[in-house]
Structure 1
Amino acid sequence: MARSTEQEQPDDVIWGFIGLGQMGYPVAMKLRENMPKSYTLLISDVNDGVLSRFVEHFENAAERNGPNSRPLNVQITRNARELAERSSIVVTCLPTPRVVKSVFDAMLIDGKLPHLKQERLFIDCSTIDPPTSRALARAVRDVLDVEFVDAPVSGGVVAARAGTLSLMFGTTTKSQKSIKRIKSILSLMGQKICHVGEQGAGVAGKLANNYILAINNIATAEAMSMGLRWGIDPKVLTELINSSTGRCWPTEVNNPVPGVIEGSPASNGYEAGGTVAVIQKDLRLAMSGAEDSGVGLMLASKADEVYTAVEKVYSGKDFSIVYKWMQDNTSTEY
């Protein structure tokens, strides 16, 4: 049953979602499932096949629910500008700062958007660098005089599909009413919502988090490799670690050893939840931000070298495949 939000609004409310990639697709699915049934969700992506599949999912779901069931309203838009013109809430979930900037340039290119009954709000769920996020927020405020929220997601594809993502957001607004509105919308896409601070704080917090993830992923692969080499059953070792001080997301949820965690990428041929390229992108954004801020990262360069080597061999695979790469490269001089 959909969680309610913005109940004071009329039934002809239209929201928009741009970016149906590995993470965006399940996030948009949860948003459409949880937002009020009478609302319309507009979708936009460069992949026409993905757009069609998204619409067909809800059409097929309605058919399965019986002859009197109507599909939830989902419409494909021609481009980002059209979506922005028609939507009171615009959510973006895109892969890189360059792509995010190009999409916002397209939405803002003709200046002011048509007036709507509901106040517009832009929510960017992409993981990008704070300077780019702040520049986009300024552009949105300067052109449209509306709020831009950075709200990156954490938890991976498995959590996105389950609706248990964490979303951390930054915003310039001091209005408790506006913050409550933002939280109510984000709660339709995830479970844990954290207001980090000023605009840009959301992506800054996400990069700090993903820096830990990038390092822990490699450390977990090394630890599991050690344990197996020493004759410990991988499930026993995982249980030990998860009840001890080494417990972390790569051991508990995204364990890199096939067969240890049912449904994990490693147990599914390393089918990507988050690719090697994506975790390396986040690592490099964190490295760049740390350098600009005068923060030293002792482990970053070595981790970057590892992901560069893994990407050359296993491009497109889940980043936990660093474990398999280590099995192929038994020398410690990688």
Structure 2
Amino acid sequence: MSDPPTLAQVAAAAGVSQATASRVLTGSVRVSTSARRQVHDAMSRMGYVRHRAPHRAESVAGVTAVVCDHLPRLFADPFYARLLPAVNSVLAEHGTHLTMVTIAPGGATQPPLSGPLLVIGARENHPLAVRLCTSGARVRMVGRPPDGVALPFADVDNVDGGRQAAEHLLLSGRTAIAAIGGPADLPASRDRLGGLIRTARAAGIADVPVAYGDFSAASGTHAAQWLLRRCPGLDAVFAASDLMAAGALQALRRAGRRVPDDVAVIGFDDAAVARRTTPSLTTVRQPVEELGRVAARLLLAGGDDAMLPVELVIRDTA
């Protein structure tokens, strides 16, 4: 059996220095998107995992995926339909089964949990996330933990996704940019908006109106209607999910706004719906399946926090 690849070998395969590869693994912002993508591609090809506190995957009887969301959304949101099978595929390779539990965002009542935990989408002040900080449980979070919660995690670079969206809109001459955010207490939502707003402000756009949804198409429609009433002169909308962007397209169409002539629209995810909208949706692609695989590997074997790159996919709405 061949020896596992070293960080130096990963760096060489990615065409970057070992120091750059190390910064990618620690989630440093001082790495370009292209370098981060090259390193993660090399890690995936070579099967590299950086060990911090190794565990034997064979000793794990089962993993519980705790989805911090309402049960209906587990079946309605394409994010979960992409993430959870990817997690399960890694666990199955190690003879480990996956159990899924949903806990409402408020988390007032929680079922007893044991064994390794994969916690997905914890919001600010979520009781489970707070409790796990001091429990000593073997846990990996999918998504950046809430502020003040020191738990290991795997995530995508949501801040950079917002930045890429803003830069594309600015370069295309858009000056009245509005945004549709996800739940305000979810770190991923805040990071996507933060990347967009900071980039717009640096370019001289002081006010970026924001309406909030719950990642569903209906909430995107309502949010876009609110934005059109508040700032009828808007010429661009960034939505923090593709489903909300699809809903925004409906609202713009009903209001007689042409996309992208009058209003540009950018989503986030690169879910299947992005290729079915009319026009087809420009969006920030997040590697959801890879995120699930990385999180599962790190839960089983131990390792440092992982931050995966995102990529703007330009289609017809912006």
After TM superposition, the score normalised by the length of structure 2 is: 0.38
After TM superposition, the score normalised by the length of structure 1 is: 0.36
More helix by share: 1
Larger radius of gyration: 1
More strand by share: 2
